[in-house]
Structure 1
Amino acid sequence: MNHAHHPTLFINDDNVAELATWPSAIEALSEAYKQPISAAMVPPRTMARGEGFWLRSLCAVSPSKEYMGCKLIAASPKNKKASYLISLFDQDTMRLAALIDGNRITDIRTAASSAVAVNALAAADKLDIAVLGSSALARSHLHALNATGRIGKVRVYSPTQANREKLAQEFAELYGLDIQAVASPEEAVKHANVVVCASRSRDGGPVFDAAWLEPGMTIVSVSSTLPEQRELDVATMQAAHLIVADMPEEVLHETGDSLVAIEAGCDVAAKTVSLSDVMTGQVQVRQKPEDIVIYKSVGSALQDIVTAEMLLRNAKTADLYQEMQDSIVTIDR
Structure 2
Amino acid sequence: MDAAVHINLNTNVEISTPFIRDSDVAQLATWPKVVAALADAYAKPITPMMVPPRIMARGDGFWLRSLCAVSPSGDYMGCKLIAASPKIKRASYLISLFDQRTMELAALVDGNRITDLRTAATAVVAVNAVMPNGPLRVGVIGSGSVARSMLTALSAVREVSLARVFSPTPASREKFADSFRTANGLYMEAVDSPQAAIRDVDVVICAARSRDESPVLLGDWLQPGMIVLSIGSTLPEQRELDVVCMARATLIIADMPEEVLHETGDSLVAVAEGVDLASKTVGLDEVVSGKVPARGSAADIVIYKSVGTALQDVVTAEMLLREALASNQYQLIPAGVVTIDR
With the shorter chain as reference, the TM-score category is over 0.9
Matched, 1:314 2:323: yes
Q: Indicate the residue corresponding to 1:110 in structure 2.
A: 119
Would the aligned equivalents of 2:136 and 2:158 in 1 still touch at CA under 8 Å? no
Q: Which residue of 2 aligns with 1:85?
A: 94
Following superposition, the deviation at residue 304 of structure 1 comes to 0.2
Counterparts of 1:101-250 in structure 2 under 5 Å?
101-122=110-131, 125-250=134-259
1:151, CA displacement in angstroms?
Answer: 1.2
Q: Which residue is equivalent to 1:39? A: 48
CA distance in 2, matches of 1:148, 1:154: 15
**Cα offset for 1:277?**
0.2
CA-to-aligned-CA distance 1:218-247 (integer Å, 9 cap, x gap):
000001100000100001100000000000
Equivalent AA in structure 1 for residue 179 of structure 2: E
Q: CA deviation at 1:2?
A: 4.8
SS of residue matched to 1:223: coil
Corresponding letter in the other structure for 1:220: L
Aligned partners of 2:313, 2:303: CA distance in 1, in Å?
22
CA contact (8 A) 1:3 1:327 kept: no
Q: Which residue of 2 aligns with 1:294?
A: 303
Q: Which moved more, 1:140-149 or 1:118-127?
A: 118-127
State the distance in 1 between where 2:132 and 2:20 align. 38
Note the C-alpha offset of 1:150. 2.5
Amino acid at match of 1:272: T
Supply the distance in 2 between the matched residues of 1:123 and 1:106 (Cα, whole angstroms): 24
Deviations 1:252-292 (A, max 9, x none): 00000000000000011110000000011011111111110
Query: Does structure 2 retain, via aligned residues, the 8 Å contact 1:122–1:194?
Result: no
> For residues 303 and 135 of structure 2, what CA distance do their matches in structure 1 show?
18
- Tell me how far apart the structure 1 counterparts of residues 13 and 187 of structure 2 sit (CA, whole Å): 53
TM-score with structure 1 length normalisation?
0.98
Letter in 1 for 2:341: D
2:28 to 8, 19, 25: 19
Q: 1:151 to 1:316 in 2, by over 3 A?
A: same
Q: Distance in 1 between matches of 2:141 and 2:13?
A: 50
Which 4+ residue blocks in structure 1 deviate beyond 3 angstroms?
Answer: 1-4
Contact 2:31 2:157 in 1 (8 A): no
- Residue 326 (structure 1) shift: 1.1
Task: After superposition, give the CA deviation of every residue in 1:114-137 in whole Å (9 maximum; x if it has no partner).
Answer: 000011113661210000001100
Larger radius of gyration: 2
State the SS of the aligned residue for 1:107: helix
What one-letter code is carried by the residue in structure 1 that aligns with 2:301? I
Is contact 1:7–1:97 with CA below 8 Å preserved after alignment?
Answer: no
Helix, strand or coil for the counterpart of 1:143? helix
Report the residue type matching 2:194 in the other structure. Answer: P
Identity %: 61
Structure 1 distance, partners of 2:328, 2:247, is 50
The answer to whether the 8 A contact 1:30-1:116 is kept is yes
- Matched residue SS, 1:147: helix
Which of 60, 66, 84 lines up with 2:75 in the alignment?
66
Work out the CA distance in 2 between the residues paired with 1:192 and 1:56. Answer: 37
- The residue type equivalent to 2:295 in the other structure is R
| 1:262 lines up with 2:278 in the alignment | no
Q: Tell me if structure 1 keeps the 8 A contact 2:77–2:100.
A: yes
Show structure 1 runs of 5+ residues with no match: none
Does the 8 A contact of 1:196 with 1:219 survive in 2? yes
Q: How many residues align?
A: 332
1:28 aligns to what?
37
Counterpart code for 1:41: M
Identify which of 280, 288, 293 aligns with 2:289: 280
Question: Partner of 2:157: helix, strand, or coil?
Answer: coil
Shift of 1:17: 0.8
Report if the CA contact (8 A) 2:105-2:337 is conserved. yes
Q: Distance in 1 between matches of 2:193 and 2:279?
A: 33
C-alpha distance in 2, partners of 1:274/1:127?
A: 24
Gaps of 5+ in 2: 1-10
